[in-house]
A and B are shown apart, each in its own frame.
Chain A
């Protein structure tokens, strides 16, 4: 069974703080993704990575950056957290050749005050 884990289930940060969200998968998947999930807006892709040290912007990359130094780990960084980044953040992974079948982590609910 594919396991995707995220470092925190709940996180509360202050405006202006630098925030790190960590995601680890244990199935040697090439692709990893970061989404944010907001009511009425669905899932929106922030960034994705198809290989170590490779990254591509998704639909809403502003205010975020990512890091993938090892294949199993994909980090999302909020350089200076703002209240409009309060959201549920989901990490996912997939096999390199897979088209659409993604495995999701449990999510991190981030609140920025």
Chain B
């Protein structure tokens, strides 16, 4: 079965420090990986997807098929990055997503 693992439930860093949220997946086929974010009192929304290879709000994520990882990175954290982050996997031919457990990121001033 497909699985997404986010090993850190909580992550706290200081403003201006680099951030890395870890995500590992298990799936033998060709996956699509996503990061979703939920800011306080807002709805869950898509942050970025690996096929777009884009940087959103300074965040990037690279799919590493060898390590089956899709870690989210930002070189300089900002206070507004504080939120709940979910990694998600879409399997081949499927419309549904498998989500990880989530990581609550707190940026300290």
Interface residues of A (CB under 8 A from B): 4, 31, 33, 35, 40-45, 48, 50, 58, 90, 92, 94, 96, 98-102, 104-107
Contacts and interface: CB of A to CB of B under 8 A. Distances in A.
B99 A100 contact: no
A44 B86 CA distance: 12
Given A58-B96, A90-B44, 16 more contacts: A33-B96, A40-B9, A40-B101, A41-B101, A42-B99, A42-B101, A43-B102, A45-B97, A48-B95, A92-B44, A96-B95, A99-B90, A99-B94, A100-B88, A104-B43, A106-B43
Interface residues of B, number: 21
A48 B96 contact: yes
A111 to B, nearest CB: 19
Nearest to B42: A106
A100 B99 CA distance: 11
B74 interface: no
Nearest to B6: A42
